[in-house]
A = this chain, B = another copy of it.
Amino acid sequence: MLLHPDRLFPAEPGTRAIARALYTSVAQLPIISPHGHTDPAWFAINQPFTNPTELLIKPDHYVFRMLYSQGIGLQQLGIRNPDADPEQVWQLFARHFYLFRGTPSSLWLNYVFEKVFDIDQPLNAQTAAHYYKVINDKLAQPAFLPRALFERFNIEVLTTTESPLDDLRHHQAINDSGWHGRVLTAYRPDDVLDPDQPDFTNNLARLAELTGEDTSSWHGYLNALRNRRAYFKSMGATSTDHGHATANTADLSRAECETLFAGALAGTLNTSEADLFRAQMLTEMAGMSVEDGLVMQLHPGCHRNHNGPLFERFGRDKGADIPVRTEYVKALHPLLNKYGNDPRLSLIVFTLDETNYSRELAPLAGHYPALKLGPAWWFHDSPEGMRRYREQVTETAGFYNTVGFNDDTRAFLSIPARHDLARRMDCAVLAQWVADHRLTEQDAFELAHDLSYTLAKNAYKL
């Protein structure tokens, strides 16, 4: 057995009993996955996954960054290396699985091994071949096709993330297929908002084609963005997402906007002007959310592609994105002063800088009607990360200015594992607060249900 039924529950028997009761009440609730990075093609095409390595190692940057940190080259893991034998990669992974002790990856992976593939021996060099065979065989069965797994995972709704330049053909195909699985898109316009993206001008040209708007004018550019929002919304989107280096926002005059936009098009903005343009665009996006009701998500504070040589050779998303210190109070001031009191806006903010939980974000979310806090994100999507989040956020923002759980993953099979972990940790924290009489048991049962299901569904208008 890889998974103990009481895993992540407090050790003290009375508290554990409360946690178990709370968890039992929410364990079977459907999964609301309002933010993530799975590939909609999987559900549109519904072909078998290739093999264990392609499915479980190569899309999971948590996995290969740890292996890389211990001296295993990405090419050895088959990344940008078509000659790598997937079974040998799996062996290599298995031999080093001990590196994941104490990490959420080990908890997620063991869940996948036991609950999805029905394996009950620990993964190591000795069991690697058995694992590979069992998983490989199962992937060929109909019960392991993407749609079948989606249903088995009891996913009520799964949101993917696409650029405004995406034609959403896979979402269209899913809609057309008659399959009842609900796979929505979210509008992620970074590549048409960020003048530092290498393809920025090409992207704007493509945006013009898609919308018939003149994206060489500020006015036309905004209309084109609005147009694609409407298209995404017509395809089921309920949210936008914004991955910026900082949380900076701005509220400039139209003339200033036009000047900056001209510079962005001409490629003449310096670093601080480009930052100001992105800052202004967040406020523009908030304004459009007031109009069209799309929930706005902001994911700032990451130094992307920190490892230059690795980026040159292997490209982005290779585990070299590193969080940086992030400021929210001054940064969000322009946007919040413009729209923060407007009940039509819902802005969900995330952080990789946990110092902001108690200092900036909980106080902001505990005041502004438009602002809510996203869950513990990325490196902090972990048992201790979740505990710190609840302990540092709740006393100032309460539970109801938070939005439930996001799995934020491209590792499809880990989705139930991640939601299960989140539900367990929420119940563990609630149980401790029941045990020391900060909460009544009745309140805790309601809260467990809200944190596992209702808050996400409501916050994302699903």
Which 8 pairs of residues, A with B, have the shortest CB-CB distance?
Answer: A4-B437, A7-B437, A11-B435, A382-B395, A102-B394, A308-B337, A384-B391, A11-B15
CB neighbors of B among A93-148 (8 A): 98-104, 107, 122
B341 touches A309 (CB 8 A): yes
Instruction: Closest B residue to A436 by CB, please name it.
Output: B8
Indicate whether A375 reaches chain B with its CB closer than 8 angstroms: no
Indicate whether A303 reaches chain B with its CB closer than 8 angstroms: yes
When chains A and B are docked, how far (Å) is the Cα of A245 from the Cα of B113? 47
When chains A and B are docked, how far (Å) is the Cα of A132 from the Cα of B15? 36
Could you mark each residue 389-418 of chain A with 1 if its beta carbon is under 8 Å from any beta carbon of chain B, else 0?
A: 001101111111100000000000000000
Indicate whether A271 reaches chain B with its CB closer than 8 angstroms: no
Q: Which of A11, A303, A329, A385 has the most CB of B within 10 A?
A: A11
**Smallest CB separation, A211 vs chain B (Å):** 33
Residues of B within 8 A of A218 (CB): none
When chains A and B are docked, how far (Å) is the Cα of A398 from the Cα of B107? 13
B436 touches A10 (CB 8 A): yes
Q: Which of A71, A384, A401, A440 has the most CB of B within 10 A?
A: A384
Instruction: Closest B residue to A429 by CB, please name it.
Output: B102
Instruction: Closest B residue to A391 by CB, please name it.
Output: B384
Q: How large is the interface on A (under 10, 10 to 19, 20 to 34, 35 or more residues)?
A: 35 or more
- A367 interface neighbour in B307, B340, B364, B371, Cβ under 8 Å: B307
- Given A11-B14, A11-B432, A324-B330; 20 other pairs, CB 8 A cutoff: A6-B437, A7-B436, A7-B438, A11-B436, A69-B365, A71-B369, A102-B438, A103-B395, A103-B396, A107-B438, A307-B336, A307-B337, A309-B341, A319-B366, A320-B367, A322-B360, A352-B359, A353-B355, A354-B358, A379-B396
When chains A and B are docked, how far (Å) is the Cα of A430 from the Cα of B405? 27
Q: Which of A71, A102, A306, A322 has the most CB of B within 10 A?
A: A102
**Smallest CB separation, A288 vs chain B (Å):** 20
* Residue positions of A touching B, CB distance < 8 A: 3-4, 6-12, 14-15, 65-66, 68-71, 98-104, 107, 122, 303, 306-310, 319-325, 327, 329-330, 333, 336-337, 340-341, 343, 352-355, 358-360, 362-369, 371, 379-380, 382-385, 391-392, 394-401, 428, 432-433, 435-440, 443, 446-447
Q: Which of A122, A391, A398 has the most CB of B within 10 A?
A: A398
A98 touches B443 (CB 8 A): yes
Residues of B within 8 A of A7 (CB): 436-438
Residues of B within 8 A of A15 (CB): 11
Residues of B within 8 A of A343 (CB): 71
When chains A and B are docked, how far (Å) is the Cα of A358 from the Cα of B369? 30
B358 touches A379 (CB 8 A): yes
When chains A and B are docked, how far (Å) is the Cα of A122 from the Cα of B443? 11
What is the oligomeric copy number? Answer: 3
- A401 interface neighbour in B69, B330, B382, Cβ under 8 Å: B69
Residues of B within 8 A of A104 (CB): 395
When chains A and B are docked, how far (Å) is the Cα of A167 from the Cα of B181? 72
A385 touches B398 (CB 8 A): no
B324 touches A337 (CB 8 A): no
Residues of B within 8 A of A309 (CB): 337, 341
**Smallest CB separation, A378 vs chain B (Å):** 9
When chains A and B are docked, how far (Å) is the Cα of A173 from the Cα of B265? 71
B360 touches A323 (CB 8 A): yes
- A100 interface neighbour in B101, B306, B324, B398, Cβ under 8 Å: B398
**Smallest CB separation, A342 vs chain B (Å):** 10
When chains A and B are docked, how far (Å) is the Cα of A109 from the Cα of B117? 51
When chains A and B are docked, how far (Å) is the Cα of A447 from the Cα of B359? 29
- A12 interface neighbour in B11, B329, B392, B438, Cβ under 8 Å: B11
B101 touches A439 (CB 8 A): yes
When chains A and B are docked, how far (Å) is the Cα of A114 from the Cα of B354? 36
Known: A69-B367, A329-B303. A101 touches B322 (CB 8 A): no
